[in-house]
Amino acid sequence: MRAFQVTSHDAPPSLVDIAKPEPGPGEVRIKIKACALNFGDLLMIKGTYQATPPVPFTLGMEVAGVVDALGPDTNGPEVGSDVLVFGGSGGLADYGVYPAESIVPLPNGMSYEDAAAFPVAYGTSHVALDHRARLQPGENLLVLGAAGGVGLAAVELGKLMGANVIACARGADKLKVAQAAGADHLIDATAADIRAEVKALGGADVVYDPVGGDQFKAAFRACNPEARLLPLGFASGEVPQIPANHLLVKNLTVIGLYWGGYLSFKPEVLTGSMRTLFGWYGEGKLKPHVSHALPLAQAADAYELLRSRKSTGKVVVTLD
């Protein structure tokens, strides 16, 4: 079967032929139909992600497809069922094998592309805003990187949760995407004084930041007393250093979140969150934004869209 693999951290990933995997006890094999890309994949390629598998490995965290086979003594979804799984890796291939307990049936009417684009963006944003930051109706939510995968989901969910959403993104085109997702106020990160603009809007009560760098510094200075900051990633390439003395002055709280980490110590947080999110999807309140869908043969081009920040929302690779 085909697989888009990292064979060395010093060379670009490539499409290779490998054996079709066989499911063992407690495992399910999926015929993969769609796989969403993530910024973490780019770090895996370089070997700097916190959960990088040993080489060689197949890229692709978020998978949607059809159950193809069950391993011995496995109580899983029926063969032929449409399912979703966050596998961490292995999704950019014709087939993948995953633990049966991690498989989630797709809601009725959800497409494979929507499903693949769903768990990381919406799951991260919902757990961050609800479980970790306890976002309240009427609070000012500042979302940095608001046109990216997790950022756009945070805009949509923040609005749904009753917040006043301030979206910060690069350029008018990306801001239009954030506005369509429900943003109340727009800030162009390439032209504006982020701190001044946020302060003029009443300051930030919650900061959702997958960017880091100078944008985090500006957002930090625009926080209201008792604000909560969520540093979720560092797309800028710069991990911010937080001055602890400034935290004291305004009684600020910095909250870490690694969404996938809950799988190992408190999975009920993720399953409860996904149940809520699927309910909202079924009610038509959520609509994943996929700016590009490319076939597996163009996986390298799909990653370049992500790397060059030419995409909005999610980039998905489709498989026949």
Residues 228-238: tens digit of each pLDDT: 999 998 888 89
161 part of a folded domain: yes
Q: What is the pLDDT of residues 163-213, one digit of tens each?
A: 999 999 999 999 999 999 999 999 999 998 999 999 999 999 999 999 999
Q: What is the pLDDT of residues 23-68, one digit of tens each?
A: 999 999 999 999 999 999 999 999 998 889 999 999 999 999 999 9
Q: Which pLDDT does position 102 carry in this prediction?
A: 86
d(Cα 60, Cα 50) in Å, to the nearest integer?
A: 15
Q: Are residues 94 and 126 in the same domain?
A: no
Q: Are residues 84 and 102 in the same domain?
A: yes
277 part of a folded domain: no
Distances (CA, A) of 310 to 72, 174, 301, 304, 314: 44, 10, 11, 8, 11
What's the average model confidence in pLDDT over 236-258? Answer: 93
d(Cα 309, Cα 304) in Å, to the nearest integer?
A: 8
Q: Are residues 168 and 112 in the same domain?
A: no
Q: What is the pLDDT of residues 88-99, one digit of tens each?
A: 999 999 999 999
Q: Are residues 151 and 174 in the same domain?
A: yes
Q: What is the pLDDT of residues 253-294, one digit of tens each?
A: 999 999 988 888 888 898 889 889 999 999 999 999 999 999
Q: Which pLDDT does position 261 carry in this prediction?
A: 86
Q: Are residues 182 and 57 in the same domain?
A: no
d(Cα 148, Cα 169) in Å, to the nearest integer?
A: 9
267 part of a folded domain: no
Q: Are residues 97 and 206 in the same domain?
A: no
Q: Which pLDDT does position 214 carry in this prediction?
A: 96
Per DSSP, what are the bridge partners of residue 166?
142, 185
d(Cα 230, Cα 226) in Å, to the nearest integer?
A: 13
34 part of a folded domain: yes
Domain that holds residue 202: 121-260
Q: Which pLDDT does position 76 carry in this prediction?
A: 81
Q: Which pLDDT does position 320 carry in this prediction?
A: 83
What's the average model confidence in pLDDT over 17-22? Answer: 98
Number of domains within the chain: 2
Hey, what amino acid is at 221?
A: R
Q: Which pLDDT does position 301 carry in this prediction?
A: 98
Q: Which pLDDT does position 164 carry in this prediction?
A: 98
What's the average model confidence in pLDDT over 144-168? Answer: 97
Q: Are residues 104 and 148 in the same domain?
A: no
CATH number at residue 160: 3.40.50.720
Could you tell me which residues come within 8 angstroms of residue 91 by beta carbon, excluding any fewer than 6 positions away? 32, 35, 36, 58, 59, 60, 61, 62, 63, 116
CB 161 within 8 A of CB 208: no
CATH number at residue 107: 3.90.180.10
9 part of a folded domain: yes
Q: Which pLDDT does position 10 carry in this prediction?
A: 95
272 part of a folded domain: no
What's the average model confidence in pLDDT over 138-159? Answer: 97
Q: Which pLDDT does position 179 carry in this prediction?
A: 97
Residue 101 pLDDT > 90, yes or no? no
Distances (CA, A) of 228 to 145, 176, 208, 209: 17, 26, 9, 11
Q: What percent of the chain has pLDDT over 90?
A: 86
Q: Are residues 302 and 226 in the same domain?
A: no
Hey, is 148 helix, strand or coil? coil
Strands, E, within the chain: which ranges? 2-6, 14-17, 27-36, 57-58, 62-70, 82-86, 95-99, 104-105, 140-144, 164-169, 185-188, 204-209, 223-231, 253-254, 290-295, 314-318
